[in-house]
Each structure stands twice: as C-alpha cells, then as structure tokens.
C-alpha cells in the first residue's frame, strides 16, 4: 500500500498522478481461509480489517457478489450519531462514534467524516419533554447532548421556518455536536484498502450460493467461482440476510423492506448541520459537493424491488419544504432506494447462529451506516475469539426467544413499526 | 405504487392499505412457547411470491390476504380474510 500524504501527492504530480498502485488487489479465491466474510459492504470490510489488524487473523476473504460498497453502504444518507435512548444502543453507537473519530488517520484514507452536529427538532412541548429526557439520559452516560431553545436553533439554521404559524412550528431542539456525516463510498474503499494491505483477500463478483454444512457445523461456502473452505463464516449481507441464511436452513427475525433517499442539484452551502425531526420523520443534510440529501419514512412493506413508491417522494418533499421553505426552489436530481434488513425490534443482530462456525451481522434496519466501525470491531472480536464482546452481547440472535428485545421505538415485534 | 383491488371497495391506491404480517406469522393463543417464538420471529423473507395479511386501513378497514411478488409487486390474488 502506498500511503497517501501531501508529499506523496506532490511527488506523484511529477508523472501526472499515474504512479499510484491499485488500492486493493483482485485475487482469485483460495481453497481455504480461516474466516470468510460474506458481503463486501462497510460492515463486512470493516470486520475483515479488524480481524487482521486487532486479532492477527490474516487468512480472511471478503466475498462480494457485485462490487464493494454497492449495497446499502453506497446508498445511505450517511448520518452518524450516537444519541439513542436504549442503554445497549447508546453503548454500541458511542463505541462506534469514538472509532469514527480518528478513523481517517488510522486508515490513511479521507472518509470526509464531518462532525457538523446532528439536531433533532422539537415541534411541541411534548417533543421537548422527550428530547430533554433523552438528553439527560445521554449525559448520564457521558454522551454529548445539548438542549436548544427556539432562538438557538434559528441561529444555527437560519433558513428554518421558525414562524409560529409554520406547518411544523419549531419549539427547540436537541443537538449532538459530535454527530455528523461521512463519505459513504470512502468508508468501503478505505477499509478495503487497509484490509488488503494486511493480507485480506477482497474478492468481488463472487456470489455465495450455498453452504457446506455437516453435523451442524459449517466448513465453507459454495460460490459462483467455486467452493471456498472456512473455519468460520460471517454473514454481512444486509437486505439479503434472509436469503443467505435460508441457504443454511435458517429463518431469521428479519424482513427485507425498502428505504428511499433523494438528492437535489448542488448549491452553495446553505445547511451545515444534520436536521432531523422524530415527529415529522424527514431529515436533511448537505453534502460537501453541495447537494441536499433528504430522507424520510421507509415504505413499510416487504420488498426486494429497490424501487420506491412515488407517494413517499411527495411526502418527504412536502415535509422538507415546510421545514426549510428555500428548498422549494431546488430541483431533485435523483431518488433511489436500498433493501433494508428490518429486524423485529429495530435493533441489529450481532453474534452466533444455531450452526457452529456460522455468525450473523444484520438487522441494521435503516440505521447501520453510523455503526460500521463499531460493528466491524465487535463482530471481528466474536469471529476471532468465539465469544461475544460485552458491548455486542445484548444483540444476540437469542434475545427474541428470551424476551430481551431492544426496542428503541417501543413499538412491538413488527419490522414495519420502526 | 400498487393498485390493490379490495374485494369490498374495488381498485384503490396502495396508500390506503397497510401491510400487517406474512400469513405464516399469524399467532393463535394455544400454541406452545417454541412455536410461538417461531411464528412471531422467524421469517422466510421470500424473494418472489409471498402470502401476506394486509388491511384496507384508510378504506373499509377489512383484513385482506394478498399473494404478492416481493420483487415485481405483481398481485396474483387479493381476497377477504378470514374467508367467509
Ligand atoms: C436510503 C437509505 C438511507 C440510509 N441512511 C442511513 C443513515 O443516514 N445513517 C445510518 O447510520 N444508516 C443509514 N442507512 C442504513 C445503512 O445504509 C446500512 O445499515 C448499512 O450501510 C449496512 O451496511 P452493510 O455493510 O451491512 O450492508 P451493504 O452495504 O448492503 O453490504 C451487503 C453486501 O452484501 C452483498 N451480498 C448480498 N448477498 C450476497 C451473496 N449471496 N454473496 C456475496 N455477497 C452478497 C451485497 O452485494 C452488498 O454489497 C440507510 C439505508 C438506506 C437504504
Ligand atoms: Zn376495502
């Protein structure tokens, strides 16, 4: 791996930047690995990196059926924060947020991680009571949270409609200053490059089509490019979790649904904070390129179509314009969707499955980008040591049978209730 | 957007309907705990035809059984549930 630095950039300028090597190799799958990771999204690549880096497990392959980062990693709206309400989620996502801080340096790859602040708007006294309670619970465990008045919110985001007769009146907000956004593709590429440098085989265009399982133990996977043996196999396939698990004869507490996102034409900087509203559900941020990225509710039914319903576009646009009227002058450039792995309590599943040697990382719903570094570290710990890390332990697959669900929304066991 | 032909109201836009659960996820009260866990939490999550329970929530509020393709969204069947 040739390290990126100002000097290296200057030197490479002498030959028109042509001397850069490829960021990761394009290896043929070997006959056997200690660990095979299925799915080259951010979670799979991060897991491979920490297996090699932290645990010294270097015989690792990441098998990706298409190109890395082309799944939800490359489709999400990149919001990173740790201001959740359930203690187990607070620990998990703060562990991840701490890893984000300093990750660009560690990977020697610019993830464009921008701690621009993530703000929840409060639209009523009831909203503010809930936000205050959330803020208190966060500060009790050492996670930053600051309650804001209407005037403070208006100063932070001057384009917000804070007039008393606004469609969604703004009463105040709760901000996590350390929250923000990151460049999603760079996360996949940065982890792939760093993992490759440690000897991990990142193998693209290699689809897993089955498992080699005898006596309840996995011995490897079958792929579109032949059989690959493995002592341990880790799933990291997000919206395809159910389909890949079915190849091993498992049924999971996961349904595949769909979440859309939208992006506007690029404009000069107009919003430098992530704006969210848990009452309205629309969220807004502006990328460094100048595009406004918008999202809202998922489509609320099982689908692998990756094709969202147009009524959601109407709804999100209407909400966004009501909150920031200046957006009405912008044209939308693109809309797209990703297949989200909706779990039955809204929280992820990280850990062992009933099959020896087969592990699951999934059920991240529409919120797993922020968790990428933390999830990679915790899953690597489990794959390397055979035991769950304390932070990951509550997120076991058994929690559903045990009644120990982690239900942030308090909405009961339905994936569309998130 | 799907056009769902409610057997009571006729073809209506999908925004009037809500998805409830897959048909194999309907729990009866007399099953043993292991079966209950399986029914509540273990899904086939099929890619292709699926049997689902929906409701015409913002219409006649009836329950409906849909045979729906989860890739193309084609509706092979929409019938009243439970059957009369
Ligand atoms: C529109 C949208 C907006 C979102 N916004 C946010 C947000 O703002 N903040 C946030 O934290 N989260 C957000 N998320 C969620 C987040 O994107 C995901 O939780 C996270 O990126 C999942 O990463 P992953 O690595 O698990 O999955 P993916 O990136 O989807 O990777 C899974 C990979 O597995 C591969 N695969 C599947 N089947 C096979 C097979 N049989 N063999 C080999 N490979 C296979 C796929 O090709 C894919 O590349 C959003 C999601 C969507 C769809
Ligand atoms: Zn009807």
The pTM (predicted TM-score) of the whole model is 0.97
**CA-to-CA distance for A84 and B67, rounded, in angstroms?**
37
CA proximity to A337, closest of A297, A377, A289, A390: A297
Query: Would you say residue B84 has pLDDT above 80?
Result: no
Query: Would you say residue A358 has pLDDT above 90?
Result: yes
Burial of A243 (0-12, 13-18, 19+ CB in 10 A): middle
Set of chain B residues whose Cβ sits within 8 Å of the Cβ of A254? 43, 45
A20 alpha carbon to ligand 2 midpoint, in Å? 63
Query: Which tokens is A131 given?
Result: 């936000």
Cβ <8 Å between A242 and B41: no
Interface of A with B in 188-227 (CB under 8 A): none
Set of chain A residues whose Cβ sits within 8 Å of the Cβ of B40? 344, 400, 413
Domains and CATH numbers, chain A: 25-76+184-252+346-398 (3.50.50.60), 118-177+256-343 (3.30.9.10)
Set of chain B residues whose Cβ sits within 8 Å of the Cβ of A414? 20-21
Read out DSSP for A143-184?
---EEEEHHHHHHH-TTS--STTSSS---EEEEETT-EE--H
CA proximity to B14, closest of B78, B71, B84: B78
* Third-level CATH fold of B1-25+48-84: Folate-binding fold (3.30.2270)
**CA-to-CA distance for A27 and A204, rounded, in angstroms?**
9
Q: Whose CA is nearest to atom 48 of ligand 1?
A: A71
Cβ <8 Å between B40 and A413: yes
CA A354 to chain centre: 26
pLDDT given at position A324 = 97
Q: CA triplet A69, A75, A78: central angle to 5 degrees?
A: 95
- Checking DSSP bridges between strand A146-149 and strand A172-176, what pairing results, if any? antiparallel
List pLDDT tens digits, range A253-292.
999 999 999 999 999 999 999 999 978 999 999 999 999 9
User: Is residue A1 very low, low, confident or very high in pLDDT (cuts 50, 70, 90)?
Assistant: confident
Residue A108, Ramachandran bin (φ over 0: left; ψ between -120 and 50: alpha; else beta): left
CA A265 to chain centre: 24
pLDDT given at position A418 = 82
List pLDDT tens digits, range A101-157.
999 999 999 999 999 999 999 999 999 999 999 999 999 999 999 999 999 999 999
Instruction: Report every protein residue that has its C-beta within 5 angstroms of ion ligand 2.
Output: B 6, 8-9, 56, 59-60
pLDDT given at position B1 = 83
- Checking DSSP bridges between strand A358-362 and strand A226-235, what pairing results, if any? parallel
Residue in A302, A401, A414 closest to B37 by CB: A401
Cβ <8 Å between A254 and B71: no
A334 in helix, strand or coil?
strand
Q: Which residue in chain A has the smallest CA separation from B15?
A: A311
Average pLDDT over residues A299-307: 96
List pLDDT tens digits, range A141-188.
999 999 999 999 999 999 999 998 999 999 999 999 999 999 999 999
Q: In A255-361, where does DSSP find H-type helix?
A: 310-323
Which residues lie across from A361 on neighbouring strands? A350
Query: Which tokens is A413 given?
Result: 């066991």
Query: Which tokens is A193 given?
Result: 């490059």
Q: What radius of gyration, in Å, describes the C-alpha atoms of chain A?
A: 22
Q: Whose CA is nearest to atom 19 of ligand 1?
A: A368
Atom of ligand 1 nearest to the CA of A68: 49
Domain ranges (residues) in chain B:
1-25+48-84
CA proximity to A366, closest of A391, A347, A382: A347
**CA-to-CA distance for A23 and A2, rounded, in angstroms?**
8
Burial of A16 (0-12, 13-18, 19+ CB in 10 A): exposed
Query: Which tokens is B52 given?
Result: 């689902």
ipTM: 0.96
Residue B10, Ramachandran bin (φ over 0: left; ψ between -120 and 50: alpha; else beta): left
Q: Enter the DSSP assignment of B26.
A: P
Q: Which residue in chain B has the smallest CA separation from A306?
A: B71
Average pLDDT over residues A357-369: 98
**Mean pLDDT for chain A?**
97
Query: Which tokens is A408 given?
Result: 């942030």
CA proximity to A187, closest of A80, A361, A69, A106: A69
């Amino acid at each position: 791996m040739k390290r990126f630095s100002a000097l290296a950039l200057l030197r490479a300028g002498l030959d028109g930047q042509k001397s850069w090597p490829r960021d990761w190799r394009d290896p043929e799958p070997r006959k056997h690995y200690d660990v095979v990771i299925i799915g080259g999204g951010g979670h799979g690549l991060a897991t491979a990196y920490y297996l090699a880096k932290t645990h010294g497990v270097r015989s690792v392959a990441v098998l990706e059926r298409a190109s890395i980062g082309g799944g939800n990693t490359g489709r999400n709206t990149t919001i990173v924060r740790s201001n959740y309400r359930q203690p187990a989620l607070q620990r998990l996502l703060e562990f991840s947020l701490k890893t984000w801080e300093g990750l660009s340096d560690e990977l020697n790859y610019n993830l464009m991680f921008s701690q621009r602040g993530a703000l929840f708007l409060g639209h009523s006294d009831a909203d503010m009571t809930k936000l205050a309670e959330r803020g208190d619970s966060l500060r009790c465990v050492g996670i930053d949270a600051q309650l804001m008045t209407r005037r403070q919110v208006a100063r932070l985001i001057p384009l917000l409609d804070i007039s008393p007769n606004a469609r969604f009146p703004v009463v105040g907000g709760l901000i996590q200053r350390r929250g923000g956004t990151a460049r999603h593709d760079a996360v996949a590429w940065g982890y792939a490059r760093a993992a490759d440098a440690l000897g991990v085989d990142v193998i693209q265009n290699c689809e897993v089509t089955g498992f080699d399982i005898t006596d309840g133990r996995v011995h490897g996977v079958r792929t579109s490019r032949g059989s690959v043996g493995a002592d341990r196999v880790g799933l990291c396939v997000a919206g395809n979790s159910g389909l890949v698990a079915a190849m091993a004869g498992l049924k999971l507490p996961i349904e595949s649904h769909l979440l859309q996102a939208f992006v506007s034409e690029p404009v000069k900087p107009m919003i430098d904070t992530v704006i969210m509203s848990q009452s309205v559900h629309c969220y807004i941020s502006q990328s460094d390129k100048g595009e406004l990225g918008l999202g809202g509710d998922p489509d609320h039914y099982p689908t692998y179509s990756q094709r969202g319903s147009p009524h959601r576009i109407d709804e999100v646009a209407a909400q966004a314009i009501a909150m920031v009227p200046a957006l009405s002058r912008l044209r939308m450039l693109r809309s797209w969707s990703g297949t989200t792995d909706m779990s039955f309590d809204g929280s992820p599943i990280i850990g062992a499955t009933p099959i020896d040697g087969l592990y699951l990382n999934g059920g991240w719903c529409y919120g797993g980008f922020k968790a990428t570094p933390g999830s990679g570290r915790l899953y690597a710990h489990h794959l390397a040591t055979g035991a769950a890390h304390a932070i990951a332990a509550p997120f076991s697959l058994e929690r559903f049978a045990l009644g120990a669900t982690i239900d942030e929304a308090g909405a009961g066991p339905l994936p569309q209730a998130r | 957007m799907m056009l769902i032909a409610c057997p009571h109201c006729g073809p209506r836009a999908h925004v009037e309907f809500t998805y409830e659960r897959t048909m194999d996820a309907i729990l009866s009260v007399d099953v043993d705990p292991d079966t209950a866990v399986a029914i509540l939490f273990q899904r086939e999550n099929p890619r292709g035809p699926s049997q689902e329970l929906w409701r015409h929530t913002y219409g006649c509020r009836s329950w409906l059984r849909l045979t729906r393709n989860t890739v193309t969204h084609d509706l092979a069947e929409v019938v009243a549930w439970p059957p009369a």
